[in-house]
Amino acid sequence: MEPETPNAGLRAPELSAKNMAKLSNRGLANIVPDSIKAIMRAGCSNPHHPEHNPNGIISLGVAENRLLHAEISEHINSHMHVAQRMLTYGDGSVGSDVLRGAIANFINNHFQPVEKLGYTSVTVLNGVSAILDALAWCICDEGDSILIGRPFYVGFVSDFMNRAKVDLATVAFGDVDPMSLAAVANYETAMEEAVSRGKKVKALILSSPHNPLGRCYTPEVLEAYLRLCSKHGIHMISDEVYAKSVFPNKDIPNPTPFRSVLSLEYRKLIDPSLLHVQYGMSKDFCSNGLRIGAFISTDNLPLHATMRAISKFAWSSSLADSAWSSILSDESFLQGYLIKLTARLTEAYDICTSILHGMKVPYLSANSGPFLWINLSGSLQQKTIESERDLAWRMIKAGVWLATGESYRSEEPGWFRLTFAVPEMEIRLGLKRYWKNPLE
C-alpha cells in the first residue's frame, strides 16, 4: 500500500481555496495533514472482526485496555438508573458533588496522598484531554511552552497545541535513561534552550506511569522534578491515568512501583499551588469512550475557578458521571475489579512478550500500562523516519496497525508502541501478520 497523499481523507471541495478562505487561520492550522495523521487514520479504518470482517485491520496502536470491558459494562448496565435530576444541569459544569467526592475518596484510598483530599480539590471535565486543554488555556498564554520528555504520548500535541496554541519544548536524552535521576538535568538544559529562543516556559508534564515506555518513576526522581519546577517557578503536571494499571512480570524481578506525586512530601519541595494531577476513567477502568476525567489540585482554588469558567465547553455527561461515581463508590466491586485488572494485564503481557521472544523482536520491559515499546528497526530498509513510515504502511497493508515511534517523537527510527491489552486471538494474529509481511 502506498502512503496516503498529504490531502488524503479530505474531499476536494473541502480543500478549495474558496472554502478555506472562509475559515480562520487558527482553525486551518489544525487541519494540516501529515504522515502521522494519515497512518493513524488508515490504521483505525476497516476494523477487524473475527466473523464479519476477518481481513480487516487489527488495531494494536490505540492505548485501550479491552480486557475488562465485560466487567465494566455489566456494572454500568446493572447499576444505571436515569434519575430525573440527571436530565438537568445538576451540580454544574465541573462534575456532580457525588462524583467529585468519590474521586477524592478513591485517590485517598489508592494513591496514598500525604493529605486527604476533599471534593473541592477536584474538577471534572469530559476526559483528560479536555482537562489538559483547559489547563493549558488557564496557565499559559499563546506561544508559551511546556517541557516534555521524548518519547511522549502523541495526544499531548493536540491537547496543548490545537486550541491553547501552547508549544511543546521537547527534551532529548540520548543515552540517558528517560526515567532516571540523571534525566532531570536534560529538562533543565531544554528549558534553558527554550528561554534562549525567547520562549516562556510555564510548566513541565510527566506521564506517570509513562506512556509509551510503560514504567514508573522512583520517588527520588519525582522529588527532583518537583525541585526543578520549584527552582524555576513553573507548574508541575503529573498525568497519572495508568496509576492502577501496574502489574508484576518475569521481565522485571524488582519493578519500581507507582507512586503518585501526591504521596510525596510535596509541600517541602514546591509551592503546592503549582502541583497538579490528572486522572480519568479511560485507562484503569477500560472506558475510553465514556469521556470523563478529573483534575486534582489541592492548593489552587483560583485555577479551579478559571477552569470552571470555560468548563461548559467540556461538560461531562450526567450518564458518564453517574457510571463512574457508581463504580468508585462500590468498594466490593472495586476490590475484585482491581485484582482482575492486575491479573489480566500480567497474563496479556506474558503472552505478548513470549511471542516477541519467539520472533526475536526486542522490547523495553514494562510493568504498567496496556502497551509495550518495541524495536522493529530490524525490519527497516534504512534507519530513517521514511523507512519507519514505509514499514507502518506495509503492516497496514498486511492487516495490522502499530503506533509509530515518529508519532511519539522517538529519538530513533524503528520503535513502535504495541498495545497488548486485547483479546489473545488479536495479539497472536496481529503479530503473525507483521511477522509474515515485514518486508513485502
pLDDT in tens, 314-357: 999 999 999 999 999 999 999 999 999 999 999 999 999 999 99
Over residues 31-52, mean pLDDT: 91
Residues contacting residue 402 through CB under 8 Å, at least 6 positions apart? 60, 61, 374, 376, 392, 395, 416, 417, 418, 434
C-alpha span between 192 and 440 (Å, rounded): 45
pLDDT of residue 98: 97
pLDDT of residue 53: 96
What is the DSSP track for 284-308?
A: TTT-GGG--EEEE-SS-HHHHHHHH
Q: What are phi and psi of 369, to 5 degrees?
A: 85, 170
Chain segment 164-176, per-residue pLDDT in tens: 999 999 999 999 9
The Cα-based distances of 237 to 136, 263, 391 in angstroms read 10, 15, 34
Chain segment 226-266, per-residue pLDDT in tens: 999 999 999 999 999 999 999 999 999 999 999 999 999 99
pLDDT > 70: what percent of the chain?
Answer: 95
The Cα-based distances of 120 to 184, 256, 264 in angstroms read 32, 31, 20
In this prediction, residue 88 has a pLDDT band, given cuts at 50, 70 and 90, of: very high
Which amino acid is located at 300 in the chain? Answer: N
C-alpha span between 45 and 396 (Å, rounded): 10
pLDDT > 90: what percent of the chain?
Answer: 90
Q: Which residues pair with 416 in a beta bridge?
A: 374, 404
pLDDT of residue 438: 55
Over residues 358-367, mean pLDDT: 97
CATH T-level topology, domain 89-329? Aspartate Aminotransferase; domain 2 (3.40.640)
Residues contacting residue 377 through CB under 8 Å, at least 6 positions apart? 383, 412, 413, 414, 415
Please say if the pLDDT value at position 8 is more than 70: no
Task: Map residue 378 onto helix, strand or coil.
Answer: helix
Domain ranges of the chain: 21-64+334-436, 89-329
pLDDT of residue 12: 37
CATH T-level topology, domain 21-64+334-436? Aspartate Aminotransferase, domain 1 (3.90.1150)
Over residues 83-107, mean pLDDT: 97
Chain segment 15-33, per-residue pLDDT in tens: 566 777 788 988 888 887 7
Q: How many CB atoms lie within 10 A of CB 357?
A: 11
Over residues 78-104, mean pLDDT: 96
Over residues 126-146, mean pLDDT: 98
Over residues 192-196, mean pLDDT: 97
Give the relative orientation of helices 318-328 and 331-359 as an angle to the nearest 10 degrees.
Answer: 90
156 with 168: CB under 8 angstroms?
Answer: yes
Instruction: Give the chain's mean pLDDT.
Output: 94
pLDDT of residue 27: 87
What is the DSSP track for 196-245?
A: HTT--EEEEEEESS-TTT-----HHHHHHHHHHHHHHT-EEEEE-TTTT-
Q: Smallest Cα–Cα separation from 205: which of 222, 220, 189, 180?
A: 222
Phi and psi based region of residue 233 (left: phi greater than 0; alpha: psi -120 to 50; beta: remaining)? left
In degrees, rounded to 5, the angle at the alpha carbon of residue 52 between the alpha carbons of residues 49 and 54 is 55
Could you tell me how many residues make up the chain? 440
Chain segment 371-417, per-residue pLDDT in tens: 999 999 999 999 999 999 999 999 999 999 999 999 999 999 999 99
153 with 207: CB under 8 angstroms?
Answer: yes
